[in-house]
């Protein structure tokens, strides 16, 4: 067997694999002899069918199978030994007048090669790293929310602007029939707010859903529909009042602090506000980190310029898709995937240049941390290490889960690298300004 490579250009090559009879004949003959032992053909005793007949019936298919196995094994070995960084998979070239009866068989494969490029983390333009702070306004609002949440309900005879009104929302056409509590402070529509004032238990009122509440997500909750359905929903619903309450905020006592933060952990309003600020900013840091990761990724994609073997990749997509594609469909699919492919190459280059590796022990610890946080949400705050080890082992035995967690850990390592080496500028903002700046 002989394998040679013809370099077409920097991104394309053709590999030719030449196979002679000596490479496969012994294996083909052995399989034919085994077939003969098992063959059950009318007119012949089992195991005594003439070898020539077996060869005539099965020889060509066996030859094709064995040659294909040789091609796959040796081509993959060649690519590894020659350290060829290929995109997609080798594509067999169409060869006219190919004859399987020839003494020597030659197969040609097109290769799409990964481009050679450099990645500098010290970017020309600094990338913004947001530091989101919990300002005094946000902390005070959180204190008031907790006081109301743990406060006392006082029954009222009629609706006032600061009350909570429980009732049922209905709309027969949209199949809405949902009991919920409506906080009047969350109502955006002034007309709706005025129409609710003075209403009593048993009264019904028709409300327009569009622009009804200050936050879009609240509408899906009170109507009992998905957020997707609630978005831009413009209908009328009938709200029938069943209960009216005023919520008297809880006093800032030690009992209140213990209920929320655990016994003895917080002993004053000042400590409470500092704890709320710290906890909020930890949560904000996750959002800021994701924003930084997205921005660095986008910067690299937009500013690191290299060519791809587009024609080869389009052909590869066309030939290897689950369903047959036209040329135009293949071009469209390539254009959709090009951006993702570019970042995969950039990310791979960064990982290689900075020798970032994932050790099995690291992935295991990362998985345990993920499981620990999931268990905490259900009140299991102190799981045993042996229990975590067992759950993590089962999770990582699932290839999809292991891949997902490994990718998350790699993203975390890349983020740490960017924070250390990338050209960043820190911008301190409160959460409200962050949302406006990032999401518009």
Q: Are residues 272 and 171 in the same domain?
A: no
Q: 292-319 burial string, b = 16+ CB within 10 Å, else e? A: beebbbebbeeebeeebbeebbbbbbbe
Structure tokens at 215: 């936050």
Q: Work out the angle at residue 330's Cα, subtended by the Cα atoms of residues 326 and 336, and round it to the nearest 5 degrees.
A: 145
Q: Are residues 422 and 286 in the same domain?
A: yes
Within-domain flag for 317 = yes
Q: Mind listing the pLDDT tens digit for each residue in 111-126?
A: 999 999 999 999 889 9
Q: Are residues 432 and 349 in the same domain?
A: yes
Quick one: pLDDT at residue 303?
93
Q: Of 92, 42, 36, which Cα lies nearest the Cα of 64?
A: 92
Rounded Cα–Cα distance for residues 291 and 294 (Å): 5
Q: Mind listing the pLDDT tens digit for each residue in 224-263?
A: 998 888 888 899 999 999 999 998 999 999 999 999 988 9
- Residues 6 or more apart whose CB falls under 8 angstroms from that of 156 comprise 163, 244, 245, 246
Q: Are residues 348 and 375 in the same domain?
A: yes
Neighbours of 122 (CB within 10 A): 8
Within-domain flag for 206 = yes
For residue 404, CA distances in Å to 81, 236, 372, 418 come to: 30, 43, 17, 21
Q: Are residues 240 and 281 in the same domain?
A: no
Rounded Cα–Cα distance for residues 312 and 109 (Å): 11
- What number of helices (H) and strands (E) belong to the chain? 14, 11
Within-domain flag for 143 = no
Please say which residue of 215, 248, 281 terminates a domain: 248
Q: Supply the CATH number for residue 227's domain.
A: 3.10.50.30
Within-domain flag for 146 = no
Please say which residue of 56, 91, 113 terminates a domain: 113
Q: Are residues 285 and 427 in the same domain?
A: yes
Structure tokens at 24: 């496969």
CB distance 298 to 438 below 8 Å = no
In tens digits, the chain (440 residues) has pLDDT values of 899 999 999 999 999 999 998 998 898 889 888 888 877 777 777 777 788 888 888 888 999 999 999 999 999 999 999 999 999 999 999 887 888 888 899 999 999 999 999 999 998 899 999 999 999 999 999 999 899 889 999 999 999 988 999 999 999 999 999 999 999 989 999 999 999 999 999 999 999 999 999 877 789 989 999 888 888 889 999 999 999 999 899 999 999 999 998 899 999 999 999 999 999 999 999 999 999 999 999 999 999 999 999 999 999 999 887 788 899 999 999 999 999 999 999 999 999 999 999 999 999 999 999 998 888 777 776 788 999 999 999 999 999 999 999 999 999 999 999 999 999 999 999 998 998 888 76
Q: Supply the CATH number for residue 61's domain.
A: 3.30.70.1050
Within-domain flag for 135 = no
Q: Are residues 323 and 382 in the same domain?
A: yes
Q: Are residues 337 and 367 in the same domain?
A: yes
Q: Work out the angle at residue 387's Cα, subtended by the Cα atoms of residues 384 and 393, and round it to the nearest 5 degrees.
A: 140
Within-domain flag for 147 = no
CB distance 410 to 358 below 8 Å = yes
Within-domain flag for 315 = yes
Please say which residue of 64, 91, 113 terminates a domain: 113
Structure tokens at 411: 């993203």
Quick one: pLDDT at residue 24?
87
Locus of tokens 């590869």: 316
Residues for the chain: how many in total?
440
Within-domain flag for 310 = yes
Rounded Cα–Cα distance for residues 36 and 49 (Å): 6
Q: Are residues 17 and 45 in the same domain?
A: yes
Q: Which domain holds residue 168?
A: 152-248
Rounded Cα–Cα distance for residues 176 and 61 (Å): 64
Q: Mind listing the pLDDT tens digit for each residue in 190-227?
A: 999 999 999 999 999 999 999 999 877 789 989 999 88
Q: Are residues 240 and 287 in the same domain?
A: no
Number of domains in the chain: 3
Locus of tokens 């009879």: 21
Quick one: pLDDT at residue 85?
94
Q: Are residues 186 and 301 in the same domain?
A: no
- Residues 6 or more apart whose CB falls under 8 angstroms from that of 367 comprise 392, 395, 396, 405
Q: Are residues 371 and 289 in the same domain?
A: yes
């Amino acid at each position: 067997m002989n394998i040679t490579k013809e370099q077409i250009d920097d991104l394309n090559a053709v590999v030719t694999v030449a196979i002679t009879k000596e490479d496969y004949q012994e294996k083909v003959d052995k399989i034919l002899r085994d077939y003969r032992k098992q063959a059950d053909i009318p007119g012949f005793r089992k195991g005594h069918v003439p070898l020539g007949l077996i060869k005539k019936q099965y020889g060509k298919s066996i030859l094709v199978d064995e040659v294909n196995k040789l091609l796959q094994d040796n081509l993959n070995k060649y690519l590894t030994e020659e350290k060829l960084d290929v995109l997609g998979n080798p594509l067999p070239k169409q060869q006219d007048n190919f004859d399987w009866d020839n003494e020597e068989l030659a197969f040609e494969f097109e290769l799409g090669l990964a481009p050679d490029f450099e990645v500098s983390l010290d970017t020309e333009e600094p990338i913004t790293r947001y530091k989101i702070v919990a300002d005094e306004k946000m902390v005070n609002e959180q204190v008031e929310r907790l006081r109301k949440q743990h406060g006392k309900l006082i029954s009222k005879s009629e609706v006032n602007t600061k009350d909570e009104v429980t009732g049922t929302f209905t709309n027969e056409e949209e199949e809405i029939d949902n009991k919920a509590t409506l906080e009047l402070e969350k109502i955006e529509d002034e007309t709706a707010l005025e129409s609710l004032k003075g209403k009593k238990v048993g009264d019904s009122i028709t409300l327009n859903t569009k622009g009804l509440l200050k936050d879009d997500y609240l509408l899906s909750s009170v109507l009992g529909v998905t957020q997707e359905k609630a978005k831009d929903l413009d209908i009328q619903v009938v709200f029938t009042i069943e209960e009216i309450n005023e919520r008297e905020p809880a006093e800032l006592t030690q009992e209140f602090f213990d209920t929320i933060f655990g016994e003895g952990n917080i002993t004053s309003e000042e400590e409470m506000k500092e704890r709320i600020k710290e906890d909020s900013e930890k949560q904000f840091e996750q959002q800021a980190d994701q924003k930084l990761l997205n921005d660095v990724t986008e910067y690299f994609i937009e500013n690191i310029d290299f060519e791809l073997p587009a024609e080869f990749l389009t052909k590869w997509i066309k030939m290897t898709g689950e369903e047959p594609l036209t040329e135009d469909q293949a071009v469209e699919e390539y254009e959709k995937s090009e951006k993702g492919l570019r970042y995969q190459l950039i990310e791979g280059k960064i990982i290689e240049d900075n020798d970032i590796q994932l050790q099995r022990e690291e992935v295991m610890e990362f998985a345990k941390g993920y499981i620990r946080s999931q268990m905490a949400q259900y009140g299991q705050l102190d799981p045993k290490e042996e229990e975590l080890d067992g759950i993590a082992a089962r999770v990582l035995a699932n290839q999809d889960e292991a891949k997902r967690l490994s990718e998350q850990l790699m993203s975390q390592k890349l983020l740490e690298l960017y924070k250390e080496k990338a050209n960043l500028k820190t911008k301190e903002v409160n959460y409200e300004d962050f949302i406006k700046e990032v999401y518009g």
